[in-house]
């Protein structure tokens, strides 16, 4: 079994480099708070974002999240709100999810798609009373907003009642880990035990109206809090007064999400990847499979019906050194059959894990494969994802 050293995880390359901006970086409202806690910053999608903190490196931060709770600043992500009586019809043209059937407070992971059946971004959509609240990736923020506004104008020109607005006065933090519920309950003064995973509601936190969604990107129980920007420093500081809550950066966030089997846009899914190839068919609602009506529906629904596509996303456990993105995946006989998209030493497992795309037929669980890491050929095996069992809260 491979072992994971502090040094190996500290030096793990933060993925998504293709999303980084070479221009002047933007700062979130928590930037000074991060500096006060000794954050080391790195550029991501045009923002200066914390990677690690002075009190603990990426490995310790990862393990702290699994055992207690961590706060991740995700204010760089795009928050939008879609309103109007035709909002469901409009957004269902752009994504694959069944939004009409979502109850108020219900959330769903969905996909923006293109004419070729590829994934333009993944997003979480929450049904609010009178609106749809959409959170999508920082690296796709400009593209997603332009896409939403373009199609809203097309719908409006045809007489539809729909408006798209960017949420600019709220910041976003993610409180993740088994101590998250207790920490948030202490601050909000309410019982959150009956709030299941993938739901959201408006909650007063220290007298401040916030939107609280039970979701996250770590595989742990947790919450994403949309907080008025003028109050986010104070609320984050109050959460940090709990000794079980610490700040965490992008280094830990990436290893946590990979252990949870969750995709990073730009690495594990992109505009050339179809839901079938990415094993994200479950995001296509039953009614949507029957009715279609979303961009790229003919290609996506045909692949679902025929189990088509040339490749499949798989999880791998790798012997030897960690395999990074773009490492070649080989069959047991040495044929090149795919490529690694993300790979890290997994702190929770003491193993090296990766996501990869392989030719269809090589994706069966326990299939023995090989991975080329630099000039070495190392053994690998297809395993079920998530690598670490999810601990999402059920009621």
Full DSSP string of 322-352:
PP-TT-EEEETTS-EEEEEEEEEEETTTTEE
Cα radius of gyration (the chain): 21
Angle among Cα 263, 312, 59 to the nearest 5 degrees reads 35
Comparing CA positions, the residue from 395, 353, 392 lying closest to residue 177 is: 392
Instruction: Give the model's pLDDT for residue 90.
Output: 98
List phi, psi (to 5°) of 328: -75, 140
The answer to whether 316 touches 328, Cβ cutoff 8 Å, is: no
The answer to whether 97 touches 118, Cβ cutoff 8 Å, is: no
Instruction: Give the model's pLDDT for residue 57.
Output: 94
The answer to whether 101 touches 92, Cβ cutoff 8 Å, is: no
DSSP 3-state of 170: strand
Residue labelled with tokens 């009715």? 291
The CA–CA distances, whole Å, from 67 to 180, 184, 239, 244, 262 equal 10, 16, 16, 9, 19
Angstrom distance (rounded) from CA 352 to CA 344? 6
Angstrom distance (rounded) from CA 121 to CA 99? 17
Instruction: Give the model's pLDDT for residue 23.
Output: 56
Angstrom distance (rounded) from CA 376 to CA 137? 35
Instruction: Give the model's pLDDT for residue 9.
Output: 44
Structural element, H or E, at residue 233: helix 232-240
How confident is the prediction along the chain (395 residues), in pLDDT tens digits per residue? 333 333 334 433 444 433 344 457 999 999 999 999 999 999 999 999 999 999 999 999 999 999 999 999 999 999 999 999 999 999 999 999 999 999 999 999 999 999 999 999 999 999 999 999 999 999 999 999 999 999 999 999 999 999 999 999 999 999 999 999 999 999 999 999 999 999 999 999 999 999 999 999 999 999 999 999 999 999 999 999 999 999 999 999 999 999 999 999 999 999 999 999 999 999 999 999 999 999 999 999 999 999 999 999 999 999 999 999 999 999 999 999 999 999 999 999 999 999 999 999 999 999 999 999 999 999 999 999 999 999 999 99
Instruction: Give the model's pLDDT for residue 22.
Output: 44
């Amino acid at each position: 079994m491979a072992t994971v050293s502090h040094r190996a995880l500290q030096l793990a390359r933060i993925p998504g480099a293709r999303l980084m901006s070479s221009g002047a970086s933007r700062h979130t409202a928590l930037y000074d708070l991060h500096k006060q806690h000794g954050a080391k910053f790195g550029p991501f999608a045009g923002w200066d974002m914390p990677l690690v903190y002075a009190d603990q490196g990426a490995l310790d931060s990862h393990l702290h999240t699994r055992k207690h709770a961590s706060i991740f600043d995700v204010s760089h992500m795009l928050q939008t709100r879609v309103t109007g009586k035709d909002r469901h019809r409009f957004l269902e043209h752009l994504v694959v999810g069944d939004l009409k059937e979502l109850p108020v407070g219900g959330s769903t992971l969905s996909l923006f798609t293109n004419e070729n059946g590829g994934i333009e971004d993944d997003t979480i959509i929450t049904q609010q009373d009178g609106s749809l609240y959409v959170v999508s990736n920082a690296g796709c923020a400009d593209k997603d907003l332009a896409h939403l506004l373009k199609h809203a104008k097309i719908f409006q020109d045809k007489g539809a009642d729909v408006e798209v607005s960017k949420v600019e006065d709220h910041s976003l933090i993610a409180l993740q880990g088994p101590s998250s519920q207790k920490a948030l309950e202490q601050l909000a003064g309410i019982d959150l035990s009956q709030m299941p995973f993938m739901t959201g509601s408006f909650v007063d936190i220290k007298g401040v109206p916030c939107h609280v969604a039970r979701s996250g990107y770590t595989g742990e129980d947790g919450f994403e809090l949309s907080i008025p920007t003028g109050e986010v420093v104070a609320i984050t500081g109050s959460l940090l007064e709990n000794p079980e809550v610490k700040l965490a950066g992008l280094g830990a966030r990436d290893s946590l999400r990979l252990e949870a089997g969750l995709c990073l846009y730009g690495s594990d899914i992109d505009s050339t990847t179809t839901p079938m190839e990415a094993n994200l068919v479950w995001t296509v609602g039953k009614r949507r499979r029957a009715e279609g009506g979303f961009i790229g529906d003919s290609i996506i629904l045909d692949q679902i019906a025929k189990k088509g596509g040339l490749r499949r996303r798989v999880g791998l456990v790798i012997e030897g050194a960690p395999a990074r993105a773009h490492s070649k995946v080989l069959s047991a006989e040495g044929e090149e059959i795919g490529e690694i998209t993300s790979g890290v030493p997994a702190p929770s497992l003491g193993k090296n894990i990766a996501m990869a795309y392989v030719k269809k037929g090589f994706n069966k669980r326990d299939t023995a494969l090989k991975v080329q890491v630099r000039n070495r050929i190392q053994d690998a095996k297809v395993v079920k994802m998530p690598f670490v069992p999810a601990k999402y809260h059920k009621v």
